[in-house]
Structure 1
C-alpha cells in the first residue's frame, strides 16, 4: 500500500496524515496520552491501551509454540518469526533480511550514514530514537528498570529481562542442532556458526576469519602493535600461505610442525611449565577454548572464565575482613 505522507525528519512514509502526525511526536517528544496509574506518556492512544495491560498483567495474545504472552497481536506476529526464521524485509543494498520493517529502515542508515536523532545535551547523533533515549539516561543517571530479586538497576527493559534469566535459569533460545540453550537470540546465532563453520568477520590484513566481531577487533590489535613497533615494515609472511605474523618467532612457530619440532621452542617468552607454554601460545594463535554459556564470550584461560561467570551468578568469593 502506498505511503505518500513522508516525515521530513527521517523519511518514514505514512498512509494517512493522522499517522504522520502521530509519528512526528517521536521527534517532537510530545506525548498527549497519559497513563492514569503511573503517569507515563504515549504518542498514540493504542500504545496507552496496550501499556495499561501491564498494570493488569493481562497478555491476551499467546504464542502457540512456546506459550509466551504479549499485549499486542503485532508483537506476537513479530515474535513468531523467531521460531519460523522468517525475515521478510530485505535490504536492497546488501541482501540482509529482517523480521521487522522498522529494523530494515534503521539498518539502511548504516549504508546512508544518516543519524536523525541528536542529543540536545552533547550533540551525539543516533540512528534510532530509542537509542537516543537510552543515551540520555547517561546524563541523568537514571536507571528506571529494577530487578525485583536483587535490586540492580538498568537503563533498558531488555537488559533487565536478560538479567532476570540469571535468577530464573531460563534459556529461551535453543540450538536446533545440539540443543544448547541461550539467554539471547544474538548469542544463539553466534553459536550456530560453530556448526556451520562460518566466519563472517575477516581481517583485511591477513585474511584470518572470526565468528564474532569482537574477536576480529582483538586480533587487529596484533597488527596495530606491530606497526607501532616496526613502522613501515610488513608483517612476517608464511611461504606456504598468505597468513601474516607480527614477530619472527611467531612465523618460526608456525613452521615448526613441518620440521617435526614443537612450536613452543620458538616462543621468546620463557615459561616455567608446559601449562604456561600452552597458555602463552594462545596469545599468538588467539585460541579461546573457554566459552561463557551466558553470552558466548570466549577466554584463553579457565580462571578468566570463572571470574566472568561470577558476574552472572552474583557470587562474591573474596570478602574484605574490615567491612561489614
Structure 2
C-alpha cells in the first residue's frame, strides 16, 4: 500500500500527515514535548507519557517467566523473547536475525553509509537520531537519569535500570542448567556457553 505523505529529507512514506510531522522532528532535532520531571524532550506526546513511567516507577506489565515489570505491553512482548531462541526478524541484506523488529531496523543501518544526524557542537554524524541525542550529553554534561539511592547520574535510562540492580541485588536472568543468576540477559547468554 502506497504511503502518500513523504519526508523531503529521507523519502520515508507515511499514511497520515501527523505521522510525517512527528518523523520530520527526527531530522530537525525539534522535541516540543518535554518531561516536567527531568526536562528530556520528545518528538511525540505519547513518547513523553511512556517515558514518565521511569520517574513514577509504574510497570504494570509483568513477565510471567522472570517477574520483570515493564511500562509498555509491547516492550514486555519483545522482552519475553530473551527467554527463548526465537529470532523471527530476518535481515534481507545478510544472515542476521533478530528478536525484535526494532533491533532489525537498527541493524539495517549498518548496510548504509548514510549518517544524516549531525552534532552541532563537533560535527560528528550518526545513523540514528537517538545516537545523536545520547552523544550530545558529552558536550552538555547532562546526566538526566539519577539513582535515587546513591545519586549517581546516567545518560540513558537503561544504564540507570541496570545500575539499580547493584542496590537491589536482583538477578532477573537465571541459567536453566546450573541455576546461576545474572542481572543482564547478555551476561546470561555469554555464561551459557560454558555448558555447551
CA RMSD in angstroms comes to 3.4
1:141 aligns with 2:113: yes
Aligned match of 1:77:
49
CA deviation vs aligned residue, 1:124-162 (integer Å, no higher than 9, x gap):
322333322322222233333332322333333222222
Shift in alpha-carbon separation, 1:172–1:88, aligned structure 2, 3 A: same
* C-alpha distance in 2 between matches for 1:105 and 1:217: 19
Aligned positions of 1:292-311 closer than 5 A:
none
Contact kept in structure 2, 1:199 and 1:209, CA below 8 Å: yes
CA deviation vs aligned residue, 1:159-194 (integer Å, no higher than 9, x gap):
222222111111011010111111121221222222
Shift in alpha-carbon separation, 1:122–1:208, aligned structure 2, 3 A: closer
1:43 aligns with 2:14: yes
Q: TM-score, normalised by structure 1?
A: 0.49
CA deviation vs aligned residue, 1:77-119 (integer Å, no higher than 9, x gap):
1111010011122334443322122212322344565444322
Shift in alpha-carbon separation, 1:183–1:32, aligned structure 2, 3 A: same
**Structure 1: gaps (5+ residues):** 1-24, 228-324
Aligned match of 1:171:
143
* C-alpha distance in 2 between matches for 1:218 and 1:119: 23
Q: TM-score, normalised by structure 2?
A: 0.76
Question: How many residue pairs end up in the alignment?
Answer: 194
